[in-house]
Amino acid sequence: MQLQSLMMILFMMVIIPVMMLFSNHNLFFVVLAAVLFFSSLRNLTAKVFSVTGAPDDSDDSLYQELEDMVNIDVHKFGKGAKVAKDLIIIVFFTYCIFYIDSFFLKLLTLVAILYWIRSIVINISVRLDTSIHDSIVKINKLFYIFINVATMILIVLVSWNKFVNSTF
């Protein structure tokens, strides 16, 4: 019973702010734009300068303990959270399309949406073949850098168009 009340409190701490975020479209845009901008900046600097975090072996034991305590598959829950995050980002870019009049910027936004759809497919699919060619890895790295730069450019231009200028 105590575990159920703890889960309900955690659930309400997540659901209420998300509901408030989605109820006001300007707040939704500002919060998600800031999060995506800084996330893209962090991802870009990590990819360009090849910064990687040290793997932590204590996470597996923590996940196993959490699975035993809550009786939820943590890895599937993590995949579901990643898919939900990707869907929210897709909604954000779809919202951005309405504030863009330039065909090139709409095309760039559609490429970003396709990237996040690809991310959903990769998160959902089960990988059977782990052998990846070096050229494919380099192409993915360049595409990843391109998407992060495009995201930052789109956020700046759409923010300018939405809040400052209405003739873009």
pLDDT 10s digits, 97-122:
988 888 999 999 999 999 999 888 88
Flag whether the pTM goes above 0.85.
no
Between 20-29, 48-57, 124-133, 150-159, the lowest mean confidence (pLDDT) is in 124-133
Q: Which amino acid is at 39?
A: S
96: burial class by Cβ within 10 Å (0-12, 13-18, 19+)? Answer: buried
Handedness of CA 14, 18, 19, 20 (dihedral sign): positive
Confidence of residue 168 (pLDDT cuts 50, 70, 90): very low
How far apart CA 79 and CA 32 sit, in angstroms, is 20
* Cα–Cα nearest to 86, from 131, 116, 118, 122: 116
125: three-class secondary structure by DSSP: coil
148: burial class by Cβ within 10 Å (0-12, 13-18, 19+)? Answer: buried
Each residue of 67-88: pLDDT tens digit? 677 677 777 778 888 888 899 8
User: Token digits for 9?
Assistant: 């409190």
Each residue of 126-135: pLDDT tens digit? 665 555 555 6
User: Token digits for 66?
Assistant: 């959490």
* In the chain, domain spans: 86-168
How far apart CA 88 and CA 82 sit, in angstroms, is 10
Neighbours of 50 (CB within 10 A): 7
- From the CA atom positions of the chain, what is the Rg in Å? 19
